[in-house]
Amino acid sequence: MLSPQKTADILDILQAQGAMRLIGARLTEVDAGVVEIELDFRPELSQQHGYFHAGIIATLVDTAGGCAGATLMPPRSGVLTVEYKLNTMAPGDGERLRARAEVIKAGRTLTITQGKVWVTKGGGETLCAMMQQTLITLPAK
The arithmetic mean of pLDDT across residues 107-118, rounded, is 97
Q: Which residues contact 47 (CB under 8 A, 6 or more apart)?
A: 53, 54
Q: What is the pLDDT of residues 52-63, one digit of tens each?
A: 999 999 999 999
The pTM (predicted TM-score) of the whole model is 0.96
Residue pair 67/15 in contact by the 8 Å Cβ criterion? no
* Axis-axis angle for helices 4-16, 54-70 (nearest 10): 150
pLDDT at 140: 82
pLDDT > 90 in the chain, percent: 89
Q: What is the pLDDT of residues 12-58, one digit of tens each?
A: 999 999 999 999 999 999 999 999 999 999 999 999 999 999 999 99
